[in-house]
Chain A
């Protein structure tokens, strides 16, 4: 699993780094902490050529420390195990003795990009082939990044991978998971599994009814999902919602639960849930939002 964490220097980014550290602890994900800041021309260098002077550089290092603090040093998959000088072939027939650290089982990268933050986050997620983009947003108002209007909403709408928007300091009561049970993917079921473990919460699985009853295929898949979670000792509840009531249902549940919506390319939800509705959900939801793709 590859997670891209988009951060800036504001407190909501602290929270998302902590949450992703816990998630990475369970999944052993390759993690990239991405800071998007001023343009490259504004990045200065001190007299020591190796050191960048950038408003986000120190903050990113702090995030890395916080991330690594979540793990016991001995057990951390991100810990470099062995550092020593060794000869490395730098080009054909030429060897150089370099100080090489080997042994980290998983990558933890820090990347700084400059430019339009939304564009940069999306580009980095494509370059990394990320499975998940995680980001925070402020608790006051309508879930914004400082100095970037509707950034979480724009990233959520345009990303090709799953997006987790973490709201600040909000205890998650339960996760309400709206999957398109006709085209359910193993990956999305496992992602929900990780979220339940991360937030130590219960799970509501929503069965979407396109009429008065469930389609036989949807019912069969709901049963399989239920058995999957029961086998993993996850307390899962089924709740049926008619397609026509999905809007009111989501606005009601978003007040107290983390919403997880399966928005895959061919999913029923992505057809019913337009970009404007996704924006509103992210802005108005009191809890974190997960869009699965």
Chain B
């Protein structure tokens, strides 16, 4: 069983992430755990010490707990296996990272609404949490149905790790799977075709998937600008993406990541 941690705040992004994670439980043998971190004020200082401080922290946690409980209650009908959330107090990134390491979760899911400006996503990818996270991450940008999944292929070596991670979560699941190779070009020349890439990467990756009884339905090469390719990939309910922490904000790959409106499964390289 895949043990998944879903991070929740009382906002739309978390509501969408929770609904999406609930959809995943319908196709994958998965147990959802939820967590919320109540952060101290922006200056980071709690008032007083000892009893005063503990009382203040407890009050804050209770307020947060009520809001998160409302969020979970709204999804209970479609996701009956949801338990009460774990409530933590402190720095969000540190607490979530500690929780993931302590409980050895297989997958981390959180919401981050699709944005025209990619800064927020870049900051997230470069955050302390993501730099040290030991498991793959799904960033839910929009609520979509998971009917079709795409694996983004960059190189054969990266893809081996991506496939191994993907199969750990999805093995045995009946899904339409496509392999997608992206070739970046100037805008206005978007094209998509079956297996056109020159170096044979797609064929090699396809072979690995066939060996693992998960043959892809289509092997596609999409040519265009990151913005056009991102838009062309919106039919997929999930895009599995190999990613290095060192990715540059100006690189085509990051631009593509920013323009994809669907949820992204990040496999760290």
Residues of A within 8 A of B (CB): 173, 202, 204, 207, 214, 219-220, 222-223, 226, 230, 235, 237-242, 245, 249, 252, 256
B113 touches A245 (CB 8 A): no
B142 touches A238 (CB 8 A): yes
In the complex formed, the residue of A with least CB distance to B262 is A237
Interface size bracket, B side: 10 to 19
- Given the contacts A202-B234, A245-B116, A239 and B261 also touching, CB distance less than 8 Å: yes
* A223 in complex: contacting residue of B12, B115, B116, CB < 8 Å: B12
Q: How far is the CB of B66 from chain A (nearest CB, A)?
A: 16
A235 to B116, CA, bound (A): 19
Q: How far is the CB of A241 from chain B (nearest CB, A)?
A: 4
- Given the contacts A238-B114, A245-B117, A219 and B261 also touching, CB distance less than 8 Å: no
Main secondary structure of the interface of A (DSSP, over half): mixed
Q: How far is the CB of A246 from chain B (nearest CB, A)?
A: 9
A148 to B26, CA, bound (A): 59
Query: 13 A–B contact pairs at CB < 8 A?
Result: A202-B234, A204-B261, A214-B113, A237-B234, A239-B113, A239-B115, A240-B114, A241-B116, A241-B117, A242-B116, A245-B116, A249-B116, A252-B227
A242 touches B117 (CB 8 A): yes
5 closest cross-chain pairs (CB), A and B: A240-B115, A241-B116, A219-B12, A237-B142, A237-B261
In the complex formed, the residue of B with least CB distance to A209 is B115
Chain B residues, Cβ within 8 Å of A207? 113
A242 to B117, CA, bound (A): 8
A207 to B113, CA, bound (A): 10
Q: How far is the CB of B165 from chain A (nearest CB, A)?
A: 26
A207 to B141, CA, bound (A): 13
In the complex formed, the residue of B with least CB distance to A212 is B120
- Given the contacts A230-B143, A238-B142, A219 and B116 also touching, CB distance less than 8 Å: no
Residues of B within 8 A of A (CB): 11-12, 15-16, 113-117, 142-144, 227, 231, 234, 261
Q: How far is the CB of A148 from chain B (nearest CB, A)?
A: 32
Chain B residues, Cβ within 8 Å of A230? 143
A237 touches B114 (CB 8 A): yes
Main secondary structure of the interface of B (DSSP, over half): loop
- From B116, B117, B143, B261, residue with most partner A Cβ within 10 Å: B116
In the complex formed, the residue of B with least CB distance to A242 is B117
B115 touches A219 (CB 8 A): no
Chain B residues, Cβ within 8 Å of A241? 115-117
B261 touches A240 (CB 8 A): no
Given contacts A222-B12, A223-B15, 11 further A-B contacts (CB under 8 A): A173-B231, A204-B261, A220-B12, A223-B12, A237-B234, A238-B142, A239-B114, A239-B116, A240-B113, A241-B116, A245-B117
B117 touches A214 (CB 8 A): no
Chain B residues, Cβ within 8 Å of A235? 144
A238 touches B234 (CB 8 A): no
Chain A residues, Cβ within 8 Å of B231? 173, 256
Q: How far is the CB of B114 from chain A (nearest CB, A)?
A: 5
Q: How far is the CB of B230 from chain A (nearest CB, A)?
A: 11
Q: How far is the CB of B234 from chain A (nearest CB, A)?
A: 7
Chain B residues, Cβ within 8 Å of A173? 231
In the complex formed, the residue of B with least CB distance to A204 is B261
- Given the contacts A237-B234, A241-B115, A245-B116, A219 and B142 also touching, CB distance less than 8 Å: no
Chain A residues, Cβ within 8 Å of B116? 239-242, 245, 249
A239 to B261, CA, bound (A): 8
Q: How far is the CB of A254 from chain B (nearest CB, A)?
A: 14
A256 to B116, CA, bound (A): 16
Chain B residues, Cβ within 8 Å of A223? 12, 15
Chain A residues, Cβ within 8 Å of B113? 207, 214, 238-240
Chain A residues, Cβ within 8 Å of B16? 238
In the complex formed, the residue of B with least CB distance to A222 is B12
A239 to B13, CA, bound (A): 11
In the complex formed, the residue of B with least CB distance to A216 is B11
Q: How far is the CB of B206 from chain A (nearest CB, A)?
A: 29
Chain A residues, Cβ within 8 Å of B144? 235
Q: How far is the CB of A80 from chain B (nearest CB, A)?
A: 45
In the complex formed, the residue of B with least CB distance to A202 is B234
Q: How far is the CB of A16 from chain B (nearest CB, A)?
A: 27
In the complex formed, the residue of A with least CB distance to B115 is A240
A214 to B143, CA, bound (A): 18
